[in-house]
Chain A
Amino acid sequence: GESVGLHLPTLSVQEGDNSIINCAYSNSASDYFIWYKQESGKGPQFIIDIRSNMDKRQGQRVTVLLNKTVKHLSLQIAATQPGDSAVYFCAESGGDYKLSFGAGTTVTVRA
């Protein structure tokens, strides 16, 4: 079946550098996308979302880019900090209230 997936399972980044996490989705009917951060032993935390009528959205230190042509989603984290170390998931929804999650990218920030 269709699912959301992530390109890279792990990402190591130097503290202070920018991070880019990628996500490929295959359900063309999806119209809402969310990035979540999950720390060990905890539930996912909302980071940022974007609707399909947009191609870019910015938050505090984070930017989400959506390319519907190639069904690609990315999360950019500016000036990565040690507290950003976690697993990041993209999730998509097609209006039925269900969220489908990608595989997750583990981000490790080097001091």
Chain B
Amino acid sequence: GAVVSQHPSRVICKSGTSVKIECRSLDFQATTMFWYRQFPKQSLMLMATSNEGSKATYEQGVEKDKFLINHASLTLSTLTVTSAHPEDSSFYICSARDKGVANTEAFFGQGTRLTVV
């Protein structure tokens, strides 16, 4: 099946620094990718929809300047957590759906565990 690769799987950073997370679709083109955040023992919360070649669409309550999203190609989206603080520590997960195919499963990356110290 289709594969979505997310990197890094774990990252520890100091408070105030920025962290970039990459999400790649390895064997299909993804016009749209999604970024989720998941706290322990909770569900996935959609943060933003990443659109190739255009601005990302953010969900209500998600700070655009805090979570920068770039979708420069049909196979790569990046999420940058800027000026990270301990409360940004979480599990971040990306997903992608195959270009032009409506209502099909979304493939998920393996997630990135961010710890801000």
The residues of A with any CB-CB pair to B shorter than 8 Å are 31-32, 34, 36, 41-46, 49, 51, 89, 91, 93, 95, 97-104
The answer to whether A34 and B106 touch (CB under 8 A), given A89-B43, A89-B44, is: yes
Can you list 7 pairs linking A and B with CB atoms under 8 Å apart? A43-B4, A43-B110, A45-B108, A97-B49, A99-B34, A103-B42, A103-B43
Q: Nearest residue in B to A94 (C-beta to C-beta)?
A: B103
Q: Is the CB of B111 within 8 A of A49?
A: no
A87 to chain B, nearest CB (A): 8
Give the CA-CA distance A41 to B12 in the complex, in Å.
Answer: 15
Q: Does B93 contact A (CB under 8 A)?
A: yes
Q: A42-B110, A46-B105 are in contact. List 9 more A-B contacts (CB 8 A).
A: A34-B105, A43-B4, A43-B6, A44-B44, A44-B108, A46-B1, A91-B106, A99-B95, A100-B46
Instruction: Collect the chain A residues with CB atoms within 8 Å of residue B1's CB.
Output: 46
Q: Is the CB of A41 within 8 A of B111?
A: yes
Give the CA-CA distance A105 to B4 in the complex, in Å.
Answer: 24
Q: Does B75 contact A (CB under 8 A)?
A: no
Which residues of chain B (27-60) have a CB below 8 Å from chain A? 32, 34, 42-46, 49
Give the CA-CA distance A99 to B32 in the complex, in Å.
Answer: 12
Q: Nearest residue in B to A89 (C-beta to C-beta)?
A: B43
Instruction: Collect the chain A residues with CB atoms within 8 Å of residue B46's CB.
Output: 98-101
Binary per-residue interface labels of chain B (81-117) against chain A in the complex, 1 for a CB within 8 Å, 0 otherwise? 0000000000101010100001111111111010000
Instruction: Collect the chain B residues with CB atoms within 8 Å of residue A31's CB.
Output: 103
Give the CA-CA distance A89 to B108 in the complex, in Å.
Answer: 13
Q: Nearest residue in B to A36 (C-beta to C-beta)?
A: B108
Give the CA-CA distance A43 to B93 in the complex, in Å.
Answer: 7
Q: Is the CB of B108 within 8 A of A32?
A: no
Q: Is the CB of A101 within 8 A of B44?
A: yes
Q: Is the CB of A98 within 8 A of B49?
A: yes
Q: Is the CB of B105 within 8 A of A95?
A: no
Instruction: Determine which of A36, A42, A46, A95 lies in contact with B103 in the assembled complex, contact meaning CB atoms within 8 Å.
Output: A95
Instruction: Collect the chain B residues with CB atoms within 8 Å of residue A34's CB.
Output: 105-106
Q: Nearest residue in B to A103 (C-beta to C-beta)?
A: B43
